Amino acid sequence: MSKAPIELDAPRCASARAGANFALIKYWGKRDLALNLPDVGSISLTLERLCTETTVSFDPALDADELLLDGRPDPARTPRISAFLDLLRARAGMRAFARVETANDFPTAAGLASSASGFAALTVAVNAALAAGWDARTLSELARIGSGSAARSIFGGFVEMHRGERDDGRDSVAEPLAGVGHWPLQVAVAISTRAEKAVGSTEGMQRTADTSPFYRAWVEHQPADLAEARAAIADKDFERLAEVAEGSALAMHGLAMSARPGLLYFNATTMECLHRIRALRADGVPVFFTVDAGPQVKAICEPVALPTVRDALADVPGVLDVVESGLGPGAEVIDS
Ligand code: PMV
């Protein structure tokens, strides 16, 4: 029998920071919508910049959850956050509404993984505020319920997210593959719009799974890409990682385009950036691309190539800004 939740008698507050992550081997498709169970595993890089900082204050004086994003109340996103808090409160056995103050140092919901860093930071902040004592695997499992990719931002460096087999999702968690020091790659992100994406990843994944004639082939092929990327990372084999990561990104977008109606996340600038990156690599510059559910292009390169890559992307018509980042640590508690 589960115990009755404990009512808080005084406010409890904590803050956490998490970096965004970009998948090299993409996650696209869910095997369970309610628990956010992925239909495929994925491999990602956690970033040092592109961070979310979140402060959560559980306060017995509140009569509803509140969300402030970048200093402003955000009623549109509050129900999703509130539902997620309900789950964490139930797991922790505590009852009190919360004020969540969250700030991104990059545009929200434009394909820069704001939900990944956001739900990872929130999960870690709640764990600290409620002294819930969740370990890293549990944090990853819980963050996944908020957003699939958030499970990966719990860890730093190179991270693998497991598809898992269980219906309860206990084995659909991420784990570290290699630390930042193993292979300190750099990332340059070419930003070509600050607008939010038209079709969110959950809706896009469902439409793809329901309507694409190629969805099963994607799911069946994924273990081969994961194995190839794992080996390339272990050997620090740049060319091998470049080929499999670009292949996975293009396959994900090809798959999304094959949904009915097809999903088009690229704009013209996206395409031009991909050609520039391919041309650089053909000239011997160690760089490759990935693109998520939005038009921004993420160029991953060896540190020596960063100035060349940055200048080449900044030169593409339509690129508004180029943001650079190294690999970063997993989500962590910070002083409020
Ligand atoms: O976790 P979500 O719902 O934001 O989905 C992430 C989907 C992609 O960013 C397109 C791919 C990935 O693996 O991160």
- Percentage of residues in the chain with pLDDT exceeding 70? 97
Assess whether the C-beta atom of 36 lies below 6 angstroms from ligand 1.
no
- For ligand 1, the distance from its centroid to the CA atom of residue 174, given in whole angstroms, is 14
Q: pLDDT tens digits, residue range 219-243?
A: 999 999 999 999 999 999 999 999 9
Instruction: Indicate which atom in ligand 1 lies nearest the CA of residue 21.
Output: 14
| pLDDT band with cut points at 50, 70 and 90 for residue 113 | low
Helix (H, G, I), strand (E, B) or coil at 122: helix
- What per-residue confidence (pLDDT) applies to 197? 72
Q: pLDDT tens digits, residue range 140-181?
A: 999 999 999 999 999 999 999 999 999 999 999 999 999 999
**Residue of higher predicted confidence among 314 and 197:** 314
How far apart, in whole angstroms, are the C-alpha atoms of residue 274 and residue 81? 35
- What per-residue confidence (pLDDT) applies to 60? 95
β-pair partners for 32: 37
How far apart, in whole angstroms, are the C-alpha atoms of residue 66 and residue 96? 12
- What per-residue confidence (pLDDT) applies to 143? 98
- For ligand 1, the distance from its centroid to the CA atom of residue 332, given in whole angstroms, is 21
User: Which is nearest to 127 in space by CA: 160, 85, 161?
Assistant: 85
- What per-residue confidence (pLDDT) applies to 194? 83
Mean pLDDT over the full length of the chain: 95
**Average pLDDT for 329-335:** 96
Structure tokens at 89: 């409160």
Q: Is the pTM of this model over 0.75?
A: yes
- What per-residue confidence (pLDDT) applies to 208? 98
β-pair partners for 23: 44
Q: pLDDT tens digits, residue range 42-88?
A: 999 999 989 999 999 999 999 999 999 989 999 999 999 999 999 99
Is 111 a residue whose pLDDT tops 70? no
Lowest-confidence pick of 110-119, 154-163, 198-207, 254-263: 110-119
Instruction: Indicate which atom in ligand 1 lies nearest the CA of residue 252.
Output: 10
Asked if 99 and 56 count as a contact pair (C-beta separation under 8 A), the reply is yes
Helix (H, G, I), strand (E, B) or coil at 268: helix
Lowest-confidence pick of 12-21, 107-116, 129-138: 107-116
Length of the chain: 336
What are the chain's domains?
6-179 (3.30.230.10), 186-326 (3.30.70.890)
Assess whether the C-beta atom of 97 lies below 6 angstroms from ligand 1.
no
Is 132 a residue whose pLDDT tops 70? yes
| pLDDT band with cut points at 50, 70 and 90 for residue 1 | very low
Is 188 a residue whose pLDDT tops 50? yes
Pocket test for ligand 1, best of 201, 202, 270 (most atoms within 8 A of CB): 201
Lowest-confidence pick of 30-44, 64-78, 104-118: 104-118
Assess whether the C-beta atom of 115 lies below 6 angstroms from ligand 1.
yes
Is 105 a residue whose pLDDT tops 90? no
For β-strands 12-25 and 42-58, DSSP reports them as: antiparallel
CA 134 to mean position of chain CA atoms: 20
Is 9 a residue whose pLDDT tops 90? no
Structure tokens at 211: 């309507």
Q: pLDDT tens digits, residue range 257-301?
A: 999 999 999 999 999 999 999 999 999 999 999 999 999 999 999
Is 109 a residue whose pLDDT tops 60? no
- For ligand 1, the distance from its centroid to the CA atom of residue 162, given in whole angstroms, is 14
Is 203 a residue whose pLDDT tops 70? yes
Assess whether the C-beta atom of 201 lies below 6 angstroms from ligand 1.
yes
